[in-house]
């Protein structure tokens, strides 16, 4: 659905977004990751046609982003605000009309959205009367009204309590099931693991990670496995070390060892293997590692590093 090709944006002789290329498939939840100042907001502003890239292109359904097409995109920025002295029902209807809806349709969808977010009883309250969490939910409604094809959310979980975080997660799942594509920018890596299909991470304007969430985590997997079952004897070919982790057995493989060969050797030695699970670090550990080490920041080439170029994260994987 969304194609970003070699986009570049320069401020004061510094490329804040430098040769970034990626695709967002129709109906997926795609994560845009990176530390503060990495260039995420600038990239989003180019996708939404707020800014024009100095080089490269942004295509929506194969056509350039431009006049008359922005109504298909809804963008909830991290810096938000409501009309403080306007009833939220009226404010949302107004947003719908700005997106080309009739007043009648905008009102009907507003009522449905307020009900979905548990705000129906507050429909006639002014924005200033709402708590921070309620204001956040109203602002999410302003993004959802008009049934956008592409929904871009910047830190949408900020300010929400756990109950409302779960509510938003369910809303996103329903929108995705209905065909909405979601581009999610967040620092909450656990939400990326739970919600997102694929991810792009940028650092200092450069692409440093790109792929499915599982692929990215497996890139940094230790060459180790956790085994539940019988005791693992010493001397198994390909096993470098054996240790105990939370009641299970962790085996560290030799660098050249293949997991299938080690598993076969374990079974041949009579080990009762109930499970054989790779040790994979959480996305948060990978994020910190990439930022701290500058992994993938090769100024001499474009695109993220290959799997062979990745440096595994060790010592905290699970």
pLDDT score recorded for residue 219 = 86
Q: Is 277 helix (H, G, I), strand (E, B) or coil?
A: strand
Portions of the chain given CATH number 3.30.70: 223-278
Are the C-beta atoms of residues 17 and 176 closer than 8 Å to each other? no
Give CA–CA dist 29/199, Å, rounded: 9
CATH number of 2-216: 3.40.50.300
Lowest mean pLDDT across 14-18, 63-67, 93-97, 107-111? 63-67
Given a cut of 70, whether residue 43 has pLDDT beyond it is yes
Neighbours of 24 (CB within 10 A): 23
Portions of the chain given CATH number 3.40.50.300: 2-216
> How far is residue 156 from each of residues 8, 36, 137, 166, 189, measured CA to CA in Å?
26, 16, 9, 12, 13
CATH number of 223-278: 3.30.70
pLDDT cut 90: percent of the chain above it? 50
How is residue 96 written in tokens?
A: 């719908």
**Looking at residues 168-178, what average pLDDT do you find?**
90
Q: Which pTM was predicted? A: 0.81
Are the C-beta atoms of residues 201 and 20 closer than 8 Å to each other? no
Given a cut of 90, whether residue 246 has pLDDT beyond it is no
């Amino acid at each position: 659905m969304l194609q970003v090709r070699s986009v570049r944006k320069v401020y004061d002789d510094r490329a804040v977004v430098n040769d970034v290329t990626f695709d967002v498939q129709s109906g997926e939840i795609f994560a845009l990751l990176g530390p503060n100042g990495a260039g995420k907001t600038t990239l989003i502003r180019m996708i939404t046609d707020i800014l024009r890239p100095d080089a490269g292109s942004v295509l929506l359904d194969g056509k350039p982003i431009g006049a008359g097409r922005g109504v298909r995109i809804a963008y909830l920025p991290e810096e938000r605000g409501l009309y403080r002295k306007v009833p939220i029902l009226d404010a949302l209807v107004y947003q719908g009309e700005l997106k080309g809806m009739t007043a009648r349709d905008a009102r009907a969808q507003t009522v449905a959205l307020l009900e979905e977010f548990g705000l129906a009883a507050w429909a006639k309250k002014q924005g200033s009367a709402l708590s921070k969490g309620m204001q956040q939910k109203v602002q999410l409604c302003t993004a959802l009204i008009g049934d956008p094809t592409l929904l871009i959310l910047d830190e949408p979980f900020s300010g929400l309590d756990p109950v409302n975080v779960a509510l938003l997660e369910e809303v996103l799942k329903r929108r995705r099931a209905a065909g909405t594509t979601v581009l999610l920018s967040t620092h909450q890596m656990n939400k990326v693991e739970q919600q997102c299909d694929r991810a792009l991470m940028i650092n200092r304007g450069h692409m440093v990670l790109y792929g499915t969430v599982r692929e990215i985590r497996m890139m940094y997997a230790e060459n180790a496995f956790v085994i539940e079952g019988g005791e693992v004897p010493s001397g198994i070919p390909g096993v470098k070390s054996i240790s105990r982790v939370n009641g299970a057995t962790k085996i560290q493989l030799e660098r050249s060892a293949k997991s299938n060969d080690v598993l076969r050797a374990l079974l041949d030695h009579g080990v009762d293997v109930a499970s054989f699970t790779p040790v994979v670090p959480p996305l948060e550990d990978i994020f910190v590692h990439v930022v701290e080490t500058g992994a993938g920041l090769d100024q001499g080439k474009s695109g993220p590093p290959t799997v062979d170029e990745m440096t595994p994260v060790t010592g905290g994987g699970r």
